[in-house]
Chain A
Amino acid sequence: MNKSEYKNVFVFAEQRNGEIQGVAFELLGKARDLAKDLQEEVYAILLGGNDVEKKAQSLIAYGADKVIVASCPFLKDYTTEAYSQAITQIVNTYKPSVILLGATVIGRDLGPRLSARLTTGLTADCTRLEISEEKELLMTRPAFGGNLMATIVCSDHRPQMSTVRPGVMKSMDMDETRQGVIEKIKIDFDESKFKVKIIETVKEQTSMVDITEAKVLLCGGRGIGTGQGFENLKDLAQLMNAEVAASRAIVDAGLIGHERQVGQTGKTVRPDLYIGFGISGAIQHMAGMEESEFIVAINKDRYAPIMQMADLGIVGDVRQIIPALTQRLKSIKK
């Protein structure tokens, strides 16, 4: 492979129901930094139904220099095969050096399929992306266990691909005066490969809460205990106009839905105030909250990992502190 043929930083601009997802704008913000260091341009890939082109301008406003649009009924709703074929053709035509995808359900379905089809590397859930002196993409992600981070490179294959969770990167401010080029491409589909048929797509109301928008987040972990413990935390949250969130252990125990899970397999949050109740701070959890403005940790264990990250640490039993705190707040409000 002649690596020098591969140029420019591409962002897969995921749309659902014709709406471009926020993570696409966040990735464009990061892509601008990378493109600047590479002295290359930022391209967005926009796939969708016949009217998707009208969304292209917003991608330019958020940092794309060029938007490659493929619009066609096959691309209206995401399917693995149609999207893989489209992006493979785009990669073979434009030869990007970098492709960034959101680590969404769609991005995590599409990314690995593409990496296998293109025979290149894919690094999942990156928390930091930068360009090395050798002009390589350095992809940093939490490695399993401990507070270990790993920086991954994909030296001999192109494009260098990585996924990033929503909320990890910051989008630039929208600039409607930015100029860019919109380029349409026609995809030559092999329809014989379309084997998965969508019967029905259902949106569920229950998952509408978006903890990534919360200013104050009360996050419950294993130490909170089962049963009443989490209910008490909800009461406290209501009193403080805060949202509740939880670690994986609590979600796995079925005490709260996955849409409120913070961490590598949940959501990445950056509230003004994060309070962890009985959270020990597994790396997977901390990857999802370390950017919080101010972190309070309440835990029985003085040496829990989260204590090293907390701006304020309280050593104590959350099962006593939550009711006491609720009581005190109620009396203050009176």
Chain B
Amino acid sequence: MKIVVCIKQVPDTTEVKLDPVTGTLIREGVPSIMNPDDKGGLELALELKDKYNAEVTVITMGPMQAEAVLREAFAMGADKAILLSDRKFAGADTLATSNALAGAIRTLEYDLVITGRQAIDGDTAQVGPQIAEHLDLPQVSYLQNLKYDGKKTFTIKKATEDGYQIVEVDSPCLVTVLASANEARYMSVRGIVEAFDKPVEVMGADKIQVDESKLGLKGSPTKVKKAFTKGVKSAGQVYEVDTEEAVGIIISKLKEKFII
């Protein structure tokens, strides 16, 4: 079995801080991580590798620095890695991103394509299903668990709003995975050592059969018209007092609001 896993390098949002004066994001020193849902997807692929000797190819689109996330995937156990990097990909919205990724995946053999459900820097959950459409694959999103019959059929548990659903689908197909689906493995020492020697294939726009009008900013139907700092409503009162007094203030507010 051949598996392609799409991963993304994202800023660690739990480390992001705001400038208290300007209210803008402090980007300096924010570490990059493998997007959590994607890591869940990679773990799923590696479990299939352990059981069925699947070959796992990871692919990411981004600047050259994004190579780091591919090295991490190598250290976890991925076999091959592709970095889609080209100025022509820059400024892509989700649809243009999915065009590039689908173009790259088309150059590979695959039985299963895996993406994370969504990335923590955008939370859109769009790129997975869009890739599936471009590749004419059936999709199963919000995957919690996957069983393989060893031949062709996947039995998948997927999350719904108020429970779950069990569905069946044959390969080839695309699934989008939740971080909570599994406990991602750590990089192994041997994996870390070997990760630096394994080759990362860099693909530019010339290596994929996708019309340039479908890539990057040019290929993005959505554009940012303006970005603005959120108008903060006039801040209320802030008290810096000891615990007893704080409790008193809260109680009086609860009374005022008829909560108690």
| Co-assembled chains A and B | yes
| Residues of A near any B CB (own CB < 8 A) | 16, 80-81, 104-105, 108-109, 111-113, 115-117, 119-125, 138-139, 142-157, 193, 195-204, 207-208, 216, 240, 242, 249, 252, 264-265, 272-273, 275, 282-284, 294-296, 298, 302-303, 305, 307-317, 320-321, 324-325, 328-329, 332
Q: Are B138 and A116 in contact (CB under 8 A)?
A: no
Q: Are B138 and A325 in contact (CB under 8 A)?
A: no
**B189 within 8 Å of A (CB atoms):** no
CB distance from A281 to the nearest CB of B (A): 9
Q: Are B230 and A148 in contact (CB under 8 A)?
A: yes
**In the complex, chain B residues whose CB is within 8 Å of the CB of A308:** 23, 232, 235
Q: Are A204 and B162 in contact (CB under 8 A)?
A: yes
Find residues 228-260 in chain B having any chain A CB closer than 8 Å to their own CB.
228-230, 232-233, 235-244, 246-251, 253-254, 257, 259-260
Given contacts A109-B142, A143-B227, A308-B23, contact A204 B126 (CB under 8 A): no
CA–CA, A285 to B233, complex, Å? 16
CB distance from A224 to the nearest CB of B (A): 15
**In the complex, chain A residues whose CB is within 8 Å of the CB of B133:** 112-113, 116-117
CA–CA, A209 to B226, complex, Å? 38
CA–CA, A147 to B229, complex, Å? 6
Q: Known contacts A145-B16, A195-B173, A284-B123; can you find 4 more A-B pairs with CB under 8 A?
A: A80-B138, A112-B126, A272-B257, A316-B240
Q: Are A310 and B238 in contact (CB under 8 A)?
A: yes
CA–CA, A316 to B245, complex, Å? 11
| Residues of B near any A CB (own CB < 8 A) | 11, 13-14, 16, 18, 20, 23-25, 27, 93-95, 98, 118, 121-130, 132-134, 138-142, 155, 159-170, 173, 179, 220-230, 232-233, 235-244, 246-251, 253-254, 257, 259-260
Q: Are A113 and B241 in contact (CB under 8 A)?
A: no
CB distance from B98 to the nearest CB of A (A): 6
Could you jot down 8 A-B contacts, CB within 8 Å? A105-B142, A144-B11, A151-B227, A204-B163, A275-B250, A296-B253, A307-B235, A316-B243
Q: Are A200 and B165 in contact (CB under 8 A)?
A: yes
**In the complex, chain A residues whose CB is within 8 Å of the CB of B238:** 302, 307, 310, 312-315
CA–CA, A282 to B230, complex, Å? 13
Interface residues of A, dominant DSSP: mixed
**In the complex, chain A residues whose CB is within 8 Å of the CB of B167:** 196-199
**In the complex, chain A residues whose CB is within 8 Å of the CB of B220:** 121
Q: Are B168 and A199 in contact (CB under 8 A)?
A: yes
CA–CA, A219 to B93, complex, Å? 33
Q: Are A310 and B259 in contact (CB under 8 A)?
A: no
CA–CA, A333 to B155, complex, Å? 54
**In the complex, chain A residues whose CB is within 8 Å of the CB of B27:** 145
Given contacts A109-B129, A156-B221, contact A310 B236 (CB under 8 A): yes
CB distance from B229 to the nearest CB of A (A): 6
Q: Are B125 and A152 in contact (CB under 8 A)?
A: no
Q: Which of B24, B118, B139 has the most CB of A within 10 A?
A: B139
Q: Are B139 and A122 in contact (CB under 8 A)?
A: no
CB distance from A135 to the nearest CB of B (A): 14
CB distance from A251 to the nearest CB of B (A): 9
Query: In the complex, which of the residues B93, B160, B260 contacts A329, with contact meaning CB atoms closer than 8 Å?
Result: B260
Q: Are B130 and A112 in contact (CB under 8 A)?
A: yes
Query: In the complex, which of the residues B11, B20, B244 contacts A303, with contact meaning CB atoms closer than 8 Å?
Result: B20
Write the chain A residue with the least CB distance to B126. A112
Q: Are A273 and B257 in contact (CB under 8 A)?
A: yes
Q: Which 6 residue pairs spanning A and B have beta carbons closest together?
A: A121-B221, A146-B25, A121-B222, A313-B238, A116-B133, A303-B20
**In the complex, chain B residues whose CB is within 8 Å of the CB of A155:** 223
CB distance from A311 to the nearest CB of B (A): 4
Q: Are A264 and B123 in contact (CB under 8 A)?
A: yes
Q: Are B18 and A147 in contact (CB under 8 A)?
A: yes
Query: In the complex, which of the residues A139, A284, A294, A324 contacts B243, with contact meaning CB atoms closer than 8 Å?
Result: A324
Query: In the complex, which of the residues B13, B95, B257 contacts A144, with contact meaning CB atoms closer than 8 Å?
Result: B13
Query: In the complex, which of the residues A111, A121, A124, A314 contacts B249, with contact meaning CB atoms closer than 8 Å?
Result: A314
Query: In the complex, which of the residues B125, B160, B244 contacts A324, with contact meaning CB atoms closer than 8 Å?
Result: B244
Query: In the complex, which of the residues A124, A307, A313 contacts B124, with contact meaning CB atoms closer than 8 Å?
Result: A124
**In the complex, chain A residues whose CB is within 8 Å of the CB of B164:** 201-202, 204
Q: Are A151 and B250 in contact (CB under 8 A)?
A: no
**In the complex, chain B residues whose CB is within 8 Å of the CB of A329:** 251, 260
Query: In the complex, which of the residues A150, A284, A294, A295 contacts B224, with contact meaning CB atoms closer than 8 Å?
Result: A150
Query: In the complex, which of the residues B138, B236, B247 contacts A313, with contact meaning CB atoms closer than 8 Å?
Result: B236
